[in-house]
Amino acid sequence: MTDSMVVRPRVVIVGAGFAGLWAAQGLADAPCDVTLVDRNNFHTFYPLLYQVAAAELGPTDIAYPVRSILRGQGVRFRMADVRGLDPDARVLRTDDGDIDYDVLVLALGSVPAFFGVEGAEEHAFPLRDMTHALPLRQEVLSRFERAAFESDPDRRRALLTFVIVGGGPTGVEYAGALAELVHGPLARDYPTIPDDEVRIVLLEGADRVLLAMHERLSAYAASRLQARGVEVRLDTMVTRIRDDGVDLADGSAIDSRTVVWTAGIQGDPMVRSWGLETGRGGRVVVDPTLQVPGRPELFVAGDLARALGGDGEPLPQVAPVAVQQGRHLAVAVKAHLSGESVPAFEYDDPGMLAVIGRNHAVADVFGRRFTGFLAWWLWALIHVAKLVGFRNRVLVLVNWAWNYIFFERAVRLILPIDDEALELHPEAERAERAEGGEARGAAADPPGETEVAEDAEEAGAAG
């Protein structure tokens, strides 16, 4: 048999996020045919997604074409939406046809988790991918346009009240960025709107924000948000979200036309119909090697994997975990294909950072804790260094410099967007496909009360 007749193993990777992309690049020199599948033709740098929603960066600043990233590496890309999986036949089903595989890597990422809060999925704006960030940016800017000519005081106050549910890193960073936007450029754009009429409320169900960080850093973040005009309400549980406001567990309510949901995430609910065992948060249970128990040819990584750390607790659903798992997968898949023992994944925690706004951030890195200007510089340098593509690094630096020097937001554009094309809740559509077309309101099977409470506490949710 000639070399041209040798059948090479087929490795299929689903998801062009951090885990999937890093795995694909690591397998570029392996003796196998690698195909990367994603519903989008671009990779998004999710840690800066909130800045797109806050009109600080444009979509192309943090997104990069997958084909450009993989050019010359021998990895094939296929733009397709996954519809199902037959693990026994080793077939991945997509809207662009079936894909056979010998080894499959699932790195689908995560979708918003609403913890059974009534009306959250229907009326709140999640902030998990680009199809969320762009409509949210449109919403915020459009509210100011309407408020500028609204004569009814109550309607005007509701239009200018922005509620953010969830005091984790995304909620805190978006609250700070939104405060800078509305009290800076928008205050100058709309001189007829008094600055004190704009209200930003951050709701957190725990007793502090940034629950995963040290108490001193949490306290600093909360104080800086308050100094920027953000109302930080702790120990506050949301019971219902309406199209015109938020109901709280203490019986009070907040009138608002814009509610942003950053309270938690879950694994893509579509995988539940594939016969894969999932744990809390819809994450697929995996062995220390990131393989599915009983299916050594199936690997799961990133937010979708319920991988355990050294303390026996699930690893956080953050970018550093996904990147390191992607690099590990390249080694693990090569070992599996060669019949060698697959090594276990070990996470090296680089620490955490969160920015509160201009000149202020919190950082728990290098074994030390920083706040203020130094933490802000560390946050900026680390994020720019990790962006994919030289062009994106330049664009982000230029935009940040422009915003910093001139107190401007150059991308506060209200563009025509097709809400059906940019569906606010794509995970609901996936759930319908997985469950045979059940009602849109159920993005996943409703968790039990205990699971809701545990997940809410773990995510710092206000629900």
Q: What is the largest CA-CA distance in the chain?
A: 82
Q: What is the mean pLDDT of the chain?
A: 88
User: Is residue 194 within 8 Å of 160, Cβ to Cβ?
Assistant: no
| Per-residue confidence (pLDDT) for residue 462, from 0 to 100 | 43
Same domain as 236, residue 193? yes
The string of DSSP codes covering 104-123 is EEE---EEE--TT-BTHHHH
Q: How many whole angstroms separate alpha carbon 137 and alpha carbon 52? A: 7
User: Is residue 15 within 8 Å of 300, Cβ to Cβ?
Assistant: no
The predicted-structure confidence for 422-441, as pLDDT tens digits, reads as follows 444 444 444 444 444 333 33
Return the minimum-mean-pLDDT range out of 56-65, 267-276, 398-407, 448-457: 448-457
Residue 348 — pLDDT band, cuts 50, 70, 90? very high
Of the residues 337, 355, 373, the one at which a domain ends: 337
User: Does pLDDT of 411 surpass 90?
Assistant: no
315 assigned to some structural domain: yes
pTM of the model: 0.87
Same domain as 209, residue 279? no
Residue 319 — pLDDT band, cuts 50, 70, 90? very high
365 assigned to some structural domain: no
Q: How many whole angstroms separate alpha carbon 15 and alpha carbon 24? A: 10
Q: How many whole angstroms separate alpha carbon 343 and alpha carbon 329? A: 10
User: Does pLDDT of 421 surpass 70?
Assistant: no
The predicted-structure confidence for 322-342, as pLDDT tens digits, reads as follows 999 999 999 999 999 999 999
The predicted-structure confidence for 216-263, as pLDDT tens digits, reads as follows 999 999 999 999 999 999 999 999 999 999 999 999 999 999 999 999
| Per-residue confidence (pLDDT) for residue 126, from 0 to 100 | 96
Q: How many whole angstroms separate alpha carbon 417 and alpha carbon 271? A: 30
Same domain as 327, residue 301? yes
Number of H helices, E strands in the chain: 15, 26
DSSP 90: T
User: Is residue 441 within 8 Å of 186, Cβ to Cβ?
Assistant: no
pLDDT above 70 coverage of the chain, percent: 88
- Catalytic sites, residue numbers: 173
Q: How many whole angstroms separate alpha carbon 366 and alpha carbon 28? A: 32
Task: Give 114's contacts (C-beta < 8 A, 6+ positions apart).
Answer: 120, 121, 124, 261, 263, 264, 443, 463
Check which CATH number belongs to the domain holding 138 and give it. 3.50.50.100
User: Does pLDDT of 272 surpass 90?
Assistant: no
Q: How many whole angstroms separate alpha carbon 177 and alpha carbon 89? A: 48
Q: How many whole angstroms separate alpha carbon 154 and alpha carbon 255? A: 9
| Per-residue confidence (pLDDT) for residue 311, from 0 to 100 | 86
139 assigned to some structural domain: yes
The predicted-structure confidence for 107-152, as pLDDT tens digits, reads as follows 999 999 999 999 999 999 999 999 999 999 999 999 999 999 999 9
Domain count, the chain: 2
| Per-residue confidence (pLDDT) for residue 452, from 0 to 100 | 35
| Per-residue confidence (pLDDT) for residue 419, from 0 to 100 | 52
Same domain as 259, residue 288? no
Same domain as 140, residue 91? no
Give the ranges where 166-302 is alpha helix by DSSP (H).
169-183, 185-189, 215-227
Task: Give 408's contacts (C-beta < 8 A, 6+ positions apart).
Answer: 184, 185, 402
Task: Give 352's contacts (C-beta < 8 A, 6+ positions apart).
Answer: 169, 212, 213, 318, 363, 364, 365
134 assigned to some structural domain: yes
More confident residue, 459 or 276: 276
Query: Which residue in the block uniquely carries the two structure tokens 């567990």?
Result: 249
3-state secondary structure 126-191: ECCCHHHHHHHHHHHHHHHHHHCCCCCHHHHHHHCEEEEECCCHHHHHHHHHHHHHHHCHHHHHCC
User: Does pLDDT of 6 surpass 80?
Assistant: no
